[in-house]
């Protein structure tokens, strides 16, 4: 797990620790000191803690004018024991929401497991974003995690999308593709 790094090819476009509006502003990272773990396996030091013991993130890109953020996750998403959705909402997305971010692209290909609880935080998140035409898209969640996510019917609140080529696209193109698809889906469901 220590070899799984957050995606870094957009660092010429956005660096969270250099953004004065970012939650990660002025954070310093070591390339050599591995201190955070998931299941007693050390993870790469570039991943950011946000209050969960089993889930870490990296804010890859924020576009304040278009009101979207791209966040990559690593670890186990555990709502049953850790209430990770509450922690993610309170410590990350609610703060970003106050800065005008209403569209969230969450890269979840490194979410090893997903354990659900109730759907209250998901329903609340959807309700919060609906008024501003916002949405949440989880991209490339592994099939076993998607299965558990769908079993809990959380896909009623959050879009699960496969976008295998996301690394070859610029952030704005990913956003445009997802925004078009999600908005079409929202119009169909209305």
**Among residues 6, 3, 1, which one has the least CA distance to residue 108?**
6
Whole-model pTM?
0.93
pLDDT of residue 189: 41
Q: State the chain's mean pLDDT as an integer.
A: 92
Q: For position 187, what pLDDT does the model report? A: 46
List the CATH code of the domain at 16-189: 3.30.750.24
For the stretch 26-65, pLDDT in tens is: 988 877 788 888 888 889 999 999 999 999 999 999 999 9
DSSP, res 60: E
β-partners of residue 63 are 68
pLDDT tens for each residue of 159-179: 999 999 999 999 999 999 999
């Amino acid at each position: 797990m220590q070899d799984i790094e957050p995606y870094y090819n957009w660092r010429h476009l956005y660096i969270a620790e250099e953004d004065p509006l970012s939650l990660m502003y002025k954070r310093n990272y070591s390339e050599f000191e591995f201190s955070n773990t998931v299941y007693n396996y050390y993870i790469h030091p570039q991943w950011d803690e946000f209050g969960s013991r089993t889930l870490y993130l990296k804010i890859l890109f924020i576009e304040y004018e278009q009101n979207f953020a791209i966040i990559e996750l690593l670890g186990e998403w555990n709502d049953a024991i850790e209430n990770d959705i509450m922690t993610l909402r309170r410590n990350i997305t609610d703060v970003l929401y106050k800065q005008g971010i209403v569209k969230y692209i969450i890269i979840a290909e490194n979410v090893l497991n997903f354990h659900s609880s109730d759907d209250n935080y998901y329903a609340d998140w959807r309700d919060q974003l609906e008024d501003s035409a916002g949405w949440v898209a989880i991209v490339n969640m592994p099939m076993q995690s998607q299965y558990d996510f769908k079993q809990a019917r959380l896909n009623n609140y959050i879009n699960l999308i496969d976008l295998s080529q996301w690394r070859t696209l610029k952030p704005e193109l990913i956003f445009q593709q997802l925004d078009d698809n999600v908005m079409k889906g929202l119009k169909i469901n209305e």
